Amino acid sequence: MASVLALLIQYKYLILFPIIVIEGPFATIVSGFLVSLGIFNVFIAYPIIILGDLASDSIFYFVGRFGSKSINKWMLYFGVTEEKLEKAKIYFTDNSNKAIVASKFIHGVGISGLMAAGILKIPYYKYAKVCLITDILQFGALLAIGFFFGHAYNQITVYLDNYAKITSIIAVSVVLVVIIIYKFRKKKKFI
């Protein structure tokens, strides 16, 4: 935290974009704190934050879109077949806005969901539009949290860490339950 704060104070907007690309939510809260101190201007910082996170989302999308052959090889190790991917594509196509928004908010699922949009070749314009709207709302709220509660950044960091851990545990638990149910049903068909 201290090193990010020091970098942002020293280099201001020059370093904000790359830090947001790497760690958007945390850096946004710190930026909100710096706005409250008068070090950052909200009308400059907020667009940089939105563009930085949109750049990060785009990287994941294009890794999925153009690196899907390499990713598909790894997915086979986890039991993801072309048939399952086709089912996911149908779900993602029918519910792409919900899936993208969920990927933006649920740590642990996020990156894979954003890459899935690329793998499944969801039109980039649609993907970027949903990410942009989500970013405007999400990062506006995080900037406000930093502005009003930035002085308690150590406690906020603990809450963000706990949020990430909890959502990751929930996501892994849901995946495990789905796998267990799938395997149980598969065994039941053979009996």
pLDDT of residue 38: 92
What's the pTM value of the predicted model, to 2 decimals?
Answer: 0.70
- pLDDT 10s digits, 136-167: 999 999 999 988 887 665 565 666 667 667 76
Question: What contacts 20, CB < 8 A, 6 or more positions away?
Answer: 27, 28, 48, 49, 52, 53, 56
pLDDT range class, residue 102, cuts 50, 70, 90: confident
Mean pLDDT of the chain: 79
CA distances from 94 to 57, 87, 149, 174, 183 (A): 20, 11, 39, 21, 26
- pLDDT 10s digits, 43-99: 999 999 999 999 999 998 898 888 766 666 666 555 556 676 666 667 677 777 777
pLDDT of residue 55: 96
